[in-house]
Structure 1
Amino acid sequence: MEKLSIVVPCYNEEATIPIFYRTVEKIRNQINAEVEYCFIDDGSKDKTLSILRDLNKKSDAVHYISFSRNFGKEAALYAGLKMAKGDYVVTMDVDLQDPPALLPKMWNILHESDYDCVATRRITRRGDPPIRSFCARLFYKIINRLSDTEIVDGARDYRMMTRQMVNAVIQDGEYNRFSKGIFSWVGFHTKWLAYENVERSAGETKWSFWKLFKYSIEGILAYTTVPLYLSSVMGILMCGVSFIALVFIVIRALLYGDPAAGWPSLVCIITLLGGLILLALGIMGLYIAKIYLETKKRQIFIVREER
């Protein structure tokens, strides 16, 4: 019988893990496969690890990895994919915002068609703050304009993949990971399933607005160098503007003399140029920082306990 591995990152999810496990178990018999659970405890500070230990003792299908500290969801996803032994692997959140009821449908699509992956996307953001929904839509528009790697609007990490695709993702061992981009970059035939937003079953989200903003910057830097080109273009444009202004000043001085007035506009121009220079340096600095982290070749995660 084929095996399906369910990869589930967890960070301070003591309230949601039992609910998630019971929910998936109810629909487990609808999937004609041996199912294994691969929970990743991302350095939780609550009773997440204790609950995973209990589930592991009760069921041979439950396995887990516990990190030495919090390494982030991207590291947890990577660890889960490396841990999974199934012929098919599905990644999903433990808070039930990724509906387990879609699992049988995803399984059937992969077996009845030529797709390598079945991915999900939210078509509504009901329950999210308006500002967060607006910024999320703006992020997808920006990254798809700047990058050759398409990121589908509303795409979730909830997807079921063949072993071939999983192996391709694992081989991409970069330190600065952006899974949505990696899943798209490796290619393969993907079927998209749309669903309406589902709120958490319990607990609180770990994604603040600032964390989401930083994550969006990571995605843009990981899959496009257009910001570097834009900084160069801004530099060229400002050189052109400066040259035109210089010609204007020389002609004005020849025709009307050289009055001392005009220092406020001069201060504004200097401030503008200084801001553009700092912006360009900041963009280059972000890319250099990514290069620095990659060259250090640090471990993406460190395992403290594994069962």
Structure 2
Amino acid sequence: MKTMCLIVPCYNEEPTVPLFFDTVEKVFADNRDTFSDINHEYLFINDGSSDGTLAEFRKLHERFPETVHYISFSRNFGKEAGLAAGLQHATGDYIAVMDVDLQDPPQLLPKMLTTLESGDYDCVGTMREDRKGEPPIRSFFSRSFYALINRISKVQIIPNARDYRLMTRQMVDAILELPEYNRFSKGIFNWVGFRTTYLKFENAPRAAGETHWSFWQLFNYSIEAIVDFSDVPLKIATFLGSLLSFISVISIFIVIIRKIIWGNSVGGWASMVTIMLFIGGVQLFCLGIIGNYIGKIYLETKHRPQYIVQEKK
């Protein structure tokens, strides 16, 4: 009999954990024919929660010791670390990644499993049909991010795609061969390849609690994604540096010719200061881009663990 493992990263999700578990269990109970040859298990990841999330995991494990397992970090390491831990510790033939807030509809699991068992695909992902209920400014920047990264990166990322997906053991093993510290899972899922199809669903509100992603956190996450999967920013910095150098050489010739013909140099300190500030700003901008890449290299060369496990059941 095959096994399906559900990886569920959590951070301060005390009220949503029991709701999630009961909802998913109902899906399995209502689709016994589809899951007749499948054993399922849960692998919850506690990403340094400060509320009673870990206590909820312990309660579920006590009730269902063979079905519910959890890993608890020593502190908050971020969602990417939670996903990495889940993939590294998950066992089974099929591995699903889900959010605990029920914005990833568990009702899709039967169709996802049927699609994988047909043998036509190695991964069944999900994507939202729209972004209803989301602030317009966040939707605008989300669309802009996908348009930008798909233009500058060789790895194409499906707009509105979620981390919620069901994968074969072979695909997960391929993902685990990428030991990088700086991770952007949506890009990694696509980088490894394999045959993938997507199911669409309508956007739904959280079952309980509030989102822990602020606009600034999402912005930083998008910057990390661009740096992880594209070197175009470095090429832009190189182009700007070359362009300004060329303009500077032309300007030197203009100043010399003006001095020879009219006997005076360029007048006006204001224009000179403006040009200096502009060039200095461009230089700092380029240094910032280079510094971002160097910072990523610095983190990779330290070989620090992505997370530290404090408790595991």
Q: TM-score, normalised by structure 2?
A: 0.96
Q: Is the 8 A contact 2:46 2:71 kept in 1?
A: yes
Identify which of 192, 196, 199 aligns with 1:193.
Answer: 199
Matches within 5 A, 1:289-300: 289-300=295-306
Q: Which moved more, 1:92-101 or 1:248-257?
A: 248-257
Partner of 2:282: 276
Distance 1:262 1:86 in 2: 74
Identify which of 48, 52, 58 aligns with 2:57.
Answer: 52
Is 1:157 aligned with 2:163? yes
Is 1:72 aligned with 2:49? no
Distance 2:176 2:129 in 1: 29
| One-letter amino acid matched to 2:62 | K
Share of identical aligned residues, percent? 55
Distance 2:75 2:276 in 1: 46
Distance 2:119 2:144 in 1: 33
Identify which of 235, 238, 242 aligns with 2:244.
Answer: 238
Distance 2:282 2:160 in 1: 33
Offset of 1:243 from its aligned partner?
1.9
Q: Is the 8 A contact 2:11 2:49 kept in 1?
A: yes
Q: What do the CA deviations read for 1:243-302 (whole angstroms, capped 9, x no partner)?
A: 222222223333333166321111111011101111111111111111111011001111
Is 1:181 aligned with 2:187? yes
Partner of 2:88: 82
| One-letter amino acid matched to 1:23 | T
Number of positions where the alignment pairs a residue of Structure 1 with one of Structure 2: 307
Partner of 1:205: 211
Partner of 1:3: 3
Matches within 5 A, 1:82-121: 82-121=88-127
Unmatched segments (≥5 aa) in structure 1 = none
Partner of 1:229: 235
Identify which of 32, 39, 48 aligns with 1:34.
Answer: 39
Offset of 1:27 from its aligned partner?
0.8
Distance 1:197 1:240 in 2: 51
Offset of 1:25 from its aligned partner?
0.6
Distance 2:237 2:165 in 1: 36
Q: Which runs of 4+ in 1 moved over 6 A?
A: none
Q: What do the CA deviations read for 1:210-233 (whole angstroms, capped 9, x no partner)?
A: 100110011001011111111001
Offset of 1:123 from its aligned partner?
2.4
Partner of 2:129: 123
Offset of 1:196 from its aligned partner?
2.1
Distance 1:227 1:118 in 2: 32
Distance 1:278 1:178 in 2: 26
Matches within 5 A, 1:165-176: 165-176=171-182
Distance 2:125 2:147 in 1: 19
Q: Is the 8 A contact 2:258 2:265 kept in 1?
A: no
Distance 1:201 1:156 in 2: 17
Distance 1:76 1:22 in 2: 22
Is 1:136 aligned with 2:166? no
Cα 1:108/1:247, change in 2 over 3 Å: same
Unmatched segments (≥5 aa) in structure 2 = none
Q: What do the CA deviations read for 1:164-199 (whole angstroms, capped 9, x no partner)?
A: 001111121111111111101111000011222111
SS at match of 2:181: coil
SS at match of 2:198: strand
Q: Which moved more, 1:159-168 or 1:258-267?
A: 258-267
Is 1:13 aligned with 2:13? yes
Distance 2:259 2:138 in 1: 53
Distance 1:16 1:241 in 2: 59
Offset of 1:7 from its aligned partner?
0.3
Q: TM-score, normalised by structure 1?
A: 0.97
Q: Which moved more, 1:275-284 or 1:156-165?
A: 275-284
Matches within 5 A, 1:248-267: 248-258=254-264, 261-267=267-273
Question: How large is the Cα RMSD of the aligned pairs?
Answer: 1.1
